[in-house]
Amino acid sequence: MSAEPSRPDPDELLAQVQAEEQQGKRGRLKIFLGYAAGVGKTFAMLEAAHQRKAELVDVVVGYVETHGRAETELQCSGLEIIPRLEVDYHNVQIPEMDIDAVLQRNPGLVLVDELAHTNAPGSRHARRYQDVEELLDCGINVYTTLNIQHIESLNDVVAQITGTKVRETVPDGVIDAVTDIELVDLPPDELINRLQEGKVYIPDQAQRAIQKFFRKGNLTALRELTMRRAAERVDDQMRAYMQTRLIPGPWPAGERLLVCISPGALGERLIHTARRLADELNAEWFAIYVETPDQARISQEQRDQVARSLRLAEELGAKTTSLPGQSVAETVMEYAHHHNVTKVIAGKPIHSRWIEFLRGSVVDRLIRLSGSIDVYVISSEAEPSTRKALEAWRPHRPWPRYFWGLLLVAAATGLSALIAPYISPTNLIVIYLLVVVLAAVYLGRGPAILTSVLGVAAFDFFFVPPSYTLAVSDTEYLLTFLGLLAVGLVISQLTALVREQAEAAKQREVQTVALYELGRDLTETAGLEAVTQTAIAHVGQTFSREVAIFLPVAGVLRAYATSAELSVSDNDLAVAAWTFEHSHPAGRGTNTLPEASMRYQPLKTMRGGVGVLGVKPSAPDRFLTRDQLRTLDAFANQIALAIERARLAEQTRQTEMLEITDKLQNALLNSISHDLRTPLVSITGALSSLINDQLTLDESSRRSLIETASEEADRLNRLVGNLLDMTRLESGAMRVKRDACDLQDLIGSSLEEVGSRLDDRSVTVDVPDDLPLVSMDFVLIERVLVNVIDNGLKYSPPGSPIEIRAHMAGAFVEIIVADRGVGIPPEDLTRIFDKFYRVQRPDNVNGTGLGLAIGKGIVDAHGGFISAENRPGGGTIITIALPVEAQK
Amino acid sequence: MSEQGVRVLVVDDERSIRRFLKASLGSQFVIFEATTGEEALAAVTANRPDVIILDLGLPDIDGVEVTRRLREWTQIPIIVISVREQEQDKIAALDAGADDYLTKPFGVGELMARLRSAIRRSAQAETDPVFKTGNLVVDLNQREVLVNGQPVSLTPTEYDLLRTFIKHTGKVLTHDQLLRAVWGTAYESETHMLQVNISNLRRKIEPDPVRPSYLITEPGVGYRLKII
């Protein structure tokens, strides 16, 4: 312990401030803690609630179980009660707290009875304390009740006292975060009295256990435990207070604990012990699991056990990690030194002495490497772990291999029999040695041992005098037998090890390759759509699962992309939304909504959550292994980054688009102000000249002025018409009203509309009489044709001819307008249909560059095409193609 | 017939438009003015005009409604002038009983032509048996159609169609009005039959069917028989 005078550590001060701040946002949790059912926790809670209500706090009852006790029920009256949610489970209605209703109601304080309660399957959270956490996160204060035996770390102790193990436990982390604990106490004698008076509610199925549980001795012990726990809590708070206010006192040393988790039942006990020790020392603690190549062969069950242990440790407040490493001891110690750990806790399964001798003991090595770190060893009876270790020994599909072992021995014996007359029996052993080596290398450990034993037996039986008995005359042969057996064991052990390491490496390699491929493909794809599709393909292939990616669209989470066969229900979406909101995995294989059909992994980057990845197994009983989960995590990271990148790229593109739109709008304004003003200038000029008495104009000048004004007025009118059309087209107000139309009529009508501007032109129209009626909006298409003809007139010299043709082209009818004008530069052929685009001309051609754009808009709306090409011999050909029949 | 003394009622709430109409038509017609629908209805009884030029966007009653109320008791020709260029607006006015429709802005020449044709139609005797325009002659009594002096044979439907146009010379007839008159009410909205018959009729009577001079298309609205 440090001898220096204590100073508040800046980090600690910061933590304190942050904790206080968090308390400000987060709701406060008060637990009414009792040592057994019936001490009056609910009653005390309701009493406190009434007091708060009197203080004008907005109190509601989220869930209170009165168990039909009149006094409790009476106390509930006068409080607002949120209706319960009836959860349907196998056609049984189970009442649960309606957490959404509470969140919606958003009261100042909510009462939630029985913190340790397990929710009905299908609820949002598996456990009620998780509901409470969510309420607290939303800034709602909560009053709740809890019995001491439900506290996770005291579970073992309580089990020792009462002889019954409670399954519904609450992680200590939840209790540590509690703002207040109120101890609800009742002397054991009174409790027993109440019980006998029938005032304590006991579920029917628990009646048998009751006698055992409600013994005075038990109750006294539990009561003491409860009081101690509450006192510890006070102590903690006091210490925290003293620390911030610079009150000198005995500071806990900066202890850090590390517990090594191993597969096997010992894991949980190790964690509980570590937690208790950490609590006592007020120390930070870590739980780590080291994956060595050896462990690639542990059973699925053991893997699950490790995962469970790590989860438990996390719930109890540990920092957990799982590390790959060659040797458990070295990896643990490296980690411990790196994290300034002061105490290491390890379990020691009791193996027989010779196994320990052969394989070495992790604990021994830990101690040897420990240096200044204390090592605590917890021992256990070896029962379940040895059985599992043996299971791991068994090779896959063993019988054919054993049979091969048998064959090898038979072959060796046959060969030996052939050459026995020529060489001494001692040398024959080399043949047996050979087959033992073969068996060890190719068949695995079991068959190798079998081969060794059988080989020894066969050799003894056939070739060691006295022959055809197992008796051995020369004791020297015993050494030979032992040697043979040892060689078989050692080689098979070595080969197995090598093979397993290779296997583990291969597995890792597969994962690395999968990850690499995902990374590569994601980098190569652009656009959100492609990125999500690539991600789904890779995740689906690597994990053999159906995949969905949920992304927020306009603030609401939606299934953005899914595997082909996957349909996403509202439920799935709800869980995904929860995951997204809390940035925490949910669904299958987690503690939150484990009933969901998928596992939901948040996709988050440094900037925050970008979405949710959902994976759904093909069969409901298949869970992801720890390795797979880690890979999935890595996948999720990569995908999140790729999605973020795609999103950013999209944003950049949108900004660019906006800039372009901006430019367009400027062009529009320039163009319009120019095009609107020019005719107005001419009209005003002409009219003001006419009205001015001082100007003496001859008849021809007057006439010319009047004509100018009139022409310019027409032009202005056309321009306004085009602008209106464009606006209608863009705002979607232009409706296509289809009718059967006669093309001849259409062309005639268009020419009529162009009217006098055609006067000096020769117009040839070639429309076959047998053209069918075409389904189109006569007025709109007429406008297109007028614009196209107008354009042809503008860009061709006066007096040059205009040709209009129509003919069938498959399911389309084509209307062709050809002029003998200047043509269009090839690079502009497609752009002339863009808005405000005008082919640059030295000569003074007026127009807004809207006519053809409107034409294209209208033709597109008809499901047709419009295109331009240069005409051989000079001029332009514009082709309008329209489907004869209306298309859907 | 002489246009002198023909009384024209101009109904428009825009002073500038009334002013320009009065200036341009005043030399040939007697002009009365009204600025609202109510004023227009009163003016029709008070001034007994021969033709009405009616704007649709009036401040009190919509022009279409004014047309409908007038048609309850008088067949006086109504020429609608409006900035509403959408076909359904034109059709609504024509179906309410208007004779013609001009979209603003319009040339005075065009307006004069429409006015004349409306006046002529109202003055024409119902029973005038021979219709003549350009190279087209139709003898309604003999059911005979001559183009350039040569008889042309029409199908009964084509003839009925032509006769309907002649009955309403110069007036815009909407698709529905034509279908009702020629085929009967059951065939409304069967525009393709109308299209085909118009097309055939044009081939038989028009000098250039692609650029017709008698049967003029009013895009999206209907047709009109024009007098040359």
Query: Which pLDDT tens digit goes with each residue over B177-221?
Result: 899 888 887 776 678 888 889 999 999 999 888 888 899 998 888
Average pLDDT over residues A241-259: 59
The shortest C-alpha distance from B131 to chain A (Å) reads 24
Quote the pLDDT of residue A738: 85
SS (H, E, C) A55-108: CCCCEEEEECCCCCCHHHHHHHCCCEECCCEEEEECCEEEEECCHHHHHHHCCC
User: pLDDT tens digits for A122-156?
Assistant: 788 888 888 888 888 888 899 999 888 888 877 77
Token pair 């597109």 in the structure block, residue: A860
d(CA A773, CA B198): 12
A301 band by pLDDT with thresholds 50, 70 and 90: confident
- What percent of the residues of chain A are helix, what percent strand, and what percent coil, each to the nearest 5? 55, 15, 30
Per-residue pLDDT reduced to its tens digit, A781-812 = 998 999 899 888 888 888 889 999 999 988 89
Q: How far is B126 from chain A (nearest CA, A)?
A: 30
Cβ atoms of A792 and A821 within 8 Å: the answer is: yes
Give me the residues of B, 57-76, that contact A with CB < 8 A.
none
The dihedral built from the CA positions of residue A622, A623, A626 and A631, taken in this order, carries a sign that is: positive
- Show Cβ contacts of residue A710 under 8 Å, excluding neighbours closer than 6 positions: B107
Q: What is the pLDDT of residues A411-426, one digit of tens each?
A: 888 888 888 888 877 7
User: Confidence band (pLDDT; 50, 70, 90) for A1?
Assistant: very low
Residue A393 has pLDDT above 50, yes or no: no
Identify from A717, A779, A805 which residue to disrupt to test chain B contact, counting B C-beta atoms within 10 A and taking the largest count.
A779
ipTM > 0.85 (yes/no): no
**Can you give the pLDDT at residue A5?**
44
- Nearest in space to A463 (alpha carbons), one of A423, A498, A517, A501: A423
- Nearest CA distance, B73 vs chain A (angstrom): 34
Residue linked to tokens 């969901």: A596
Task: Please state which of the ranges A584-588, A839-843, B130-134 shows the lowest mean pLDDT.
Answer: A839-843
Q: Is A693 on the interface with B (CB under 8 A)?
A: no
Q: How far is A753 from chain B (nearest CA, A)?
A: 10
Say if B151 is an interface residue toward chain A (CB within 8 Å): no
How many beta-carbon pairs under 8 angstroms link A with B?
A: 52
* Residue A835 or A858, more confident: A858
Over chain B, what is the mean pLDDT?
87
pLDDT-wise least confident of A74-78, A419-423, A470-474, B150-154? A470-474
pLDDT score at A9: 60
Give the closest of A737, A748, A769 to B212, CB-based: A748
Residue closest to A776 by CA, chosen among A746, A810, A806: A746
Asked whether residue A758 carries a pLDDT value surpassing 50, the answer given is: yes
* Whether residue A592 has pLDDT greater than 50: yes
Give the Cα separation of A302 and A296 in Å (integer). Answer: 11
pLDDT higher than threshold 90 for residue A852: no
pLDDT at residue number A391: 35
Residues making up chain A, counted from first to last? 888
Query: Is pLDDT at B67 greater than 90 in this prediction?
Result: yes
A172 within 8 A of A316, measured Cβ to Cβ: yes
User: Would you state the pLDDT for residue A384?
Assistant: 40
A2 has a pLDDT exceeding 50 = no
Rounded-to-integer distance, Cα A153 and Cα A467, Å = 67
The answer to whether residue B105 neighbours chain A at the CB level (below 8 Å) is yes
pLDDT tens string A642-659: 888 888 888 888 888 877
Residues 182-241 of A with CB under 8 A from B: none
Q: Name residues whose C-beta falls within 8 Å of residue A440's C-beta, 6 or more positions apart in sequence.
A: A448, A451, A487, A488, A491, A492, A495
Position with higher pLDDT, A353 vs B123: B123
Q: Does the beta-carbon distance from A752 to B217 stay under 8 Å?
A: yes
B16 touches chain A (CB under 8 A): no
Which amino acid, residue A37? A
pTM of the model: 0.44
